[in-house]
Amino acid sequence: MDFTGKNILVTGGAKGIGFATAKRLAKDGAYVIIADFAEEVAIQKADMIKQNGGRACFQYVDLSDPKSIEKMGLDVAEEFGVLHGLVNNAGIVRGCSIQDTNDHDWEPQISINLRAPALCAKALLPLLKKGPGHIVNISSEAGFRPRANSWVYDSAKAGICALTRSMACEFVQYGMRANTVAPGWSVTEMHFGDSPERKKELENTVYDGAIMRRLAHPEEIASAIVFLLSDDASFITATTLHVDGGRVAH
Considering the domain boundaries, does residue 144 fall inside one?
yes
pLDDT tens-digit profile of 37-60? Answer: 999 999 999 999 999 999 999 999
Q: Which residue has the higher pLDDT, 101 or 91?
A: 91
Total domains, the chain: 1
Considering the domain boundaries, does residue 1 fall inside one?
no
List active site positions: 153
| The model's pTM | 0.94
Residue 15's domain spans which residues?
Answer: 7-243
- Mean pLDDT computed over every residue of the chain: 94
Q: What is the pLDDT of residue 214?
A: 84
Q: What is the CATH number of the domain that holds 128?
A: 3.40.50.720
Considering the domain boundaries, does residue 81 fall inside one?
yes
DSSP code per residue over the chain: ---TT-EEEEETTTSHHHHHHHHHHHHTTPEEEEEES-HHHHHHHHHHHHHTT-EEEEEE--TT-HHHHHHHHHHHHHHTS--SEEEE-------B-TTT--HHHHHHHHIIIIIHHHHHHHHHHHHHHHTT-EEEEE--GGGTS--TTBHHHHHHHHHHHHHHHHHHHHHGGGT--EEEEEE-SB-SHHHHTT-HHHHHHHHT---TTSTT-SPBPHHHHHHHHHHHHSGGGTT--S-EEEESTTTTT-
Considering the domain boundaries, does residue 250 fall inside one?
no
pLDDT tens-digit profile of 115-170? Answer: 999 999 999 999 999 999 999 999 998 889 888 999 999 999 999 999 999 999 99
Considering the domain boundaries, does residue 248 fall inside one?
no
Q: What is the pLDDT of residue 208?
A: 79
pLDDT tens-digit profile of 195-236? Answer: 777 777 777 788 778 888 888 899 999 999 999 999 999 999
